[in-house]
Amino acid sequence: MAVLSDSIEQFLISLLSDEDSPVVLVQRNELANYFRCAPSQINYVLATRFTVERGYTVESRRGGGGYIRIVKINLDRNSYLKDLIENSIGTEMSQDAANTILLRLFETKCISQDEYRFSQSLLSDKAIGVPSPIKERVRANLIRQMAINWLQSKSMPQT
Amino acid sequence: MAVLSDSIEQFLISLLSDEDSPVVLVQRNELANYFRCAPSQINYVLATRFTVERGYTVESRRGGGGYIRIVKINLDRNSYLKDLIENSIGTEMSQDAANTILLRLFETKCISQDEYRFSQSLLSDKAIGVPSPIKERVRANLIRQMAINWLQSKSMPQT
DNA sequence: TATGAATAGTCAAAGTAAGTCAAACGGAGG
DNA sequence: CCTCCGTTTGACTTACTTTGACTATTCATA
């Protein structure tokens, strides 16, 4: 029985997995229009399906430029950080690659916004301030150390 | 940025991002013209984005030669950080020297224990992981960027 | 010193978009 | 049938943005 709410849920979930990005940005009216339903139906789906217990957070903004943003929380942050340390960080890393990783850690709530901004600034070419290819090596070393720090601090009891 | 106000905000922030001059001077009409919007839009952005709670003050003057001046607030308790950035960090720094500075920052409550541990680990020889004398240069650059970050984050309560 | 040009400020209306809530709906189990 | 409970809807509310008409200051100069 394909209930509307289930279809909308599936649609959003597919958006969340298709692009291998843990974030989706939609406009309530647009989505409601696509499914030919009342806009408040979208709120119902969000309230019943995209809850924290199910591993999602929802943020939104009203008015011009309004949006609804759904983020899939990485429930096993430890394993993600471990994987990062062991497999994803080599001996060199570009600023772009580092930014991508940090953004993803932030979006999946592995790190806070403060941590995100702080680490991003430290991994910039400007902050490291030595020429290639040394800076790429330093960056890889630093982001690994950051991941280790986060792994340690987040695996303490009571987050 | 989907919304005009956000674009204007970002534009102004980018003008402010120069670390050693936390001030920007603009003309309202000129800025409005650049963004093709009503001049009062600028006031709206200032009123909603560049508030004291967010760490800014705005002064202005009407009439010929009028202007709008936005200043990023530096709180008094951060004078030590400012002094650090401006005077105490050179182009090279040993691990010991960095540790001394960090400990002092921690003891004077300029940084939290988490920040202390995190930054200490990043400034170790091991974390930087490139040979002397490059690592001393990287360390000086990094600790300067850290100080700038702390200065900025602590001067805006409620982000 | 009076006046006009050049600025910036204020405020309310219109525009855009999401949130709330209660009533109506409808299918499954009794 | 009837009731229960999750679903669906729509009227109303709240939040944020954009614009424009009108006001207030400041400067230059007659």
Q: What are the pLDDT digits (tens) for B6-17?
A: 999 999 999 987
Residue B158: list chain A partners with CB under 8 A: none
Which range has the worst mean pLDDT, B3-17, B95-109, B123-137? B95-109
Order of strands, sheet of B67-72, starting from the edge strand that comes earlier in the sequence: B23-26, B67-72, B56-61
Does residue A108 share a domain with residue A51?
A: no
Task: Give the strands of the sheet with A23-26, arranged side by side.
Answer: A23-26, A67-72, A56-61
DSSP 8-state symbol, A9: H
Which nucleotide is nearest to B43 if distance is taken from CA to C1'? C9
Exposed / middle / buried, residue A123 (Cβ in 10 Å: 0-12, 13-18, 19+): buried
State the best of A122, A154, A159 to mutate against chain B, taking most chain B CBs within 10 Å: A122
pLDDT for A1: 46
Residue B77 pLDDT: 57
Asked whether residue B2 carries a pLDDT value surpassing 80, the answer given is no
Cβ of B48 near strand D (distance < 7 A)? yes
d(CA B138, CA B133): 9
Is position A94 within any domain?
A: yes
In a domain, B159, yes or no: no
Q: What is the CATH number of the domain that holds B91?
A: 1.10.1200.150
* Residue A159 maps to a domain: no
pLDDT of residue B17: 79
Interchain CB contact of B13 with A (< 8 Å):
no
CA distance readout (Å), A39 to A2, A28, A45:
19, 6, 10
Q: Say if residue B32 is in the same domain as residue B81.
A: no
Q: Which residues of chain A have pLDDT under 50?
A: 1, 157-159
The whole domain housing B131 covers 76-154
- Taking an 8 Å cut-off on Cβ atoms, the answer to whether A122 and B118 are in contact is no
Give the containing element (helix H, strand E) for A104. Answer: helix A95-107
Rounded to an integer, the average pLDDT of B126-137 is 91
Mark which of A49, A72, A95 sits at the end of a domain. Answer: A72
Tally of domains within chain A: 2
Asked if B66 and B16 sit in the same domain, the reply is: yes
> Is the domain of A89 the same as that of A126?
yes
A&B contacts, CB < 8 Å: 66
CA distance B2 to B58: 25
Residue B139's nearest CA partner among A127, A93, A117 is: A127
Tell me the pairing of strands A23-26 and A67-72. antiparallel
Q: Does the distance separating the beta carbons of A141 and B130 come in below 8 Å?
A: yes
Q: Residue A142's Cα: distance from chain center in Å?
A: 21
The pLDDT value given to residue A159: 33
Q: How far is B159 from chain A (nearest CA, A)?
A: 9
- Nearest Cα neighbor of A116 from A132, A99, A97, A138 is A99
* Minimal C-alpha gap between B53 and chain A (Å): 17
Q: Final residue of a domain: which of B72, B106, B123?
A: B72
Residue A60 sits in the same domain as residue A12:
yes
Which among B117, B118, B138 has CB closest to A128?
A: B138
pLDDT of amino acid B20: 64
Asked if the model's pLDDT at residue B1 lies above 60, the reply is no
Cβ pair A138:B129 closer than 8 A: yes
pLDDT averaged over every residue in chain B: 87
The mean pLDDT of B53-75, rounded to a whole number, is 89
Mean residue pLDDT of chain A comes to: 89
pLDDT in tens, A111-155: 988 899 999 999 999 999 999 899 999 999 999 999 999 988 765
The stretches of chain B forming alpha helices (DSSP H) are 4-16, 28-34, 39-49, 79-83, 95-107, 113-122, 125-128, 134-154
Q: What is the CATH number of the domain that holds B34?
A: 3.30.56.130
* Mean pLDDT calculated for residue range B115-140: 92
Regarding whether B147 and B98 lie in a shared domain, the answer is yes
